[in-house]
Amino acid sequence: MPQMLRPPSVGPIVGHTTDTSVRLWIRAADVQDLRTVGVAAIYEQGQLEPKQVRYFRLHREYDRTGTVDFDGLQPNTRYTARLGAVAVDSLDSELIVEDQEVFERLPKNLMVWKEDFRRLDEGEVSFTTFPSAAGGGFSFLMGSCRYPGVMGQSKRSDEIFQAMSRHVEKARGKDTLQPRFVLMMGDQIYADKLNRTLSMGRADTWREFQERYIEAFSTPYIRQLMRSLPTYMILDDHEIEDNWVQARLRDALKRDLFHNAIRAYMSYQWVHGPRNFDKRIHYSFDCAQSPFFVLDVRTQRIREDADASLRGNHLLGYPAKASAPGFKGQLDQFCDWLVEMQQQRGNVPKFVVSPGVFAPNDVGSRGGSGASDSWPAFPETRRRVLRAIVDNNVQNVVFLSGDVHCSNVSEIYFEKKRGGKLPLKAFSIVSSAFYWPFPFADGDPLGFVHDSKAEDDGFDIDGSVTMHYRSRGFEQDDNFTQVSYDTTRSVLLVQNYSRKGLALKGPHELKLAAL
């Protein structure tokens, strides 16, 4: 008979959610070479008898992490789930064994775990499924860049997640555009706490990357947040190494570092997301029929800065080639998605998560510069995306970004060389940082272009149309952002909140093109 269920060592995390399903994640405790199985039960709110019970594997090669899916749920409904793990010690640890064979060693009647579930307070999550339609709208929270702190700062780096949890609880059940999920847009860990060139504080090995994630995801307030609100994540450079680009893979040591970093990333972040482009890191999802596309702007980043024109730089991987018509990379998949969403859903906002900032540019990259770590250093990628938007009249594209340790909003417009503005709207919302104790080092609001036309920072798309933007609402203090989509007024409301949960400047109103 297997042992009683043990609580997770990390988690649980509420991951990808729809109106009828949810994906839940845990990490089990280390149990030497034994095989580990997760057991999960889901309950309708207030009920004592589980609605569904599942076994799921927690593989050693993924650091004993794993996910379980529950479907057949009701839209906009509150559920509770409890998750634990059990070790199976009757199989040769050296053999490759299929999941079903492991499950066969466990009780067929999953209700035998019912009493164990009641003791698993540490393994409990509570969440609400997404609404099936937008109704009056919805909101979500977003942010990025959680520096772990050094010399006793770890509690301070966790503090903002307490404010986020309280904010969610206060809004729940009220007649408001309550938050439905949270976006964490990169630098959830800092593999290089000090600097990538310093061995002290730098993760190189698999064990060191594992320790970074366990440390980051085990602090009490982020754990509280992730077990009560669906959380979507995407990596940026500090999950690997500062300013990571593909060219570093040519070095054997960097290649080993990358493999360890990505193995850890996929175990702790990617696996509880939608995973709808096979094993590609980018993905898409919907909330209340509003589409989101989450870009991987880091692992496919190609820079050939020796080329002064920057034509060799590709932010989203190489574009498709006519000689290989069956193969599409991330750039083409993303542009196809933009066009498809406009055709299928009209002028609803098309939210695009890009850890690197689309706008505004930093003042050092005006006119296009390889010195930038964001979109200005990749003009060909930027031009291709903007041409897809302009040529197909894709309305209300909303770029959501982090990275720069300075929150702000931008309204993007398009101007013909002859004939004035196009009737086309796009936006950029930046939220950063969750915790960054060095405001004197970067994130200075004066270091960004605020008005691209006045500051000679327009971006030429095709010789006849130029992209411009106006930015405002700069906030350098640690903060998170709530974005509310109000369908009744066709607006986005953007409000920043401090580390203590206090409203900062705003709300900033972004008027959408007519729905």
323 vs 338, residue with greater confidence: 338
440 vs 96, residue with greater confidence: 440
Most confident of 97-111, 167-181, 297-311: 167-181
What is the per-residue pLDDT across 156-181, written as a single tens digit (0 to 9) for each? 999 999 999 999 999 987 767 899 99
Element (H, E) at 84: strand 78-88
What is the full DSSP assignment across 339-377?
Answer: HHHHHHHTTS-EEEE-SS--SSPBGGGTT--TT-SSGGG
Average pLDDT, the chain: 91
The per-residue pLDDT for 176 is 72
Ranges 26-30, 368-372, 399-403, 414-418: which has the least confidence? 368-372
Band of pLDDT at residue 1, cut at 50, 70 and 90: very low
**Residue 233: pLDDT over 80:** yes
Strands 426-430 and 397-401 come out as parallel
Residue 402 CA, distance from chain mean position: 10
**Residue 263: pLDDT over 70:** yes
Rounded Cα gap, residues 292 and 272, in angstroms? 16
Rounded Cα gap, residues 477 and 437, in angstroms? 9
**Residue 505: pLDDT over 90:** no
Rounded Cα gap, residues 221 and 227, in angstroms? 10
Task: Summarize the confidence of residues 231-253 as an average pLDDT.
Answer: 95
DSSP 90: S
The domains of the chain are located at: 10-128, 137-511
Give the right CATH number for 10-128 from 1.20.120.1770, 3.20.20.100, 2.30.130.10, 2.60.40.380.
2.60.40.380
The per-residue pLDDT for 433 is 93
Beta-carbon contacts of 222 under 8 Å, excluding residues fewer than 6 positions away, are: 146, 158, 161, 216
Most confident of 152-161, 200-209, 321-330, 460-469: 460-469
Q: What percent of the chain is predicted at pLDDT more than 70?
A: 93
Report angle CA 23, 26, 31 to the nearest 5 degrees.
145
Task: Summarize the confidence of residues 211-234 as an average pLDDT.
Answer: 96
**Residue 128: pLDDT over 50:** yes
What is the per-residue pLDDT across 42-59, written as a single tens digit (0 to 9) for each? 999 888 889 999 999 998
Task: Summarize the confidence of residues 138-156 as an average pLDDT.
Answer: 87
Ranges 187-196, 243-252, 464-473: which has the least confidence? 187-196
Residue 505 CA, distance from chain mean position: 24
Q: How far is CA 5 from CA 73, 105, 107, 364, 427, in A?
A: 25, 15, 13, 56, 48
The per-residue pLDDT for 130 is 96
Q: What is the CATH number of domain 137-511?
A: 3.60.21.70
Rounded Cα gap, residues 103 and 179, in angstroms? 37
Beta-carbon contacts of 354 under 8 Å, excluding residues fewer than 6 positions away, are: 295, 297, 375, 399, 400, 401
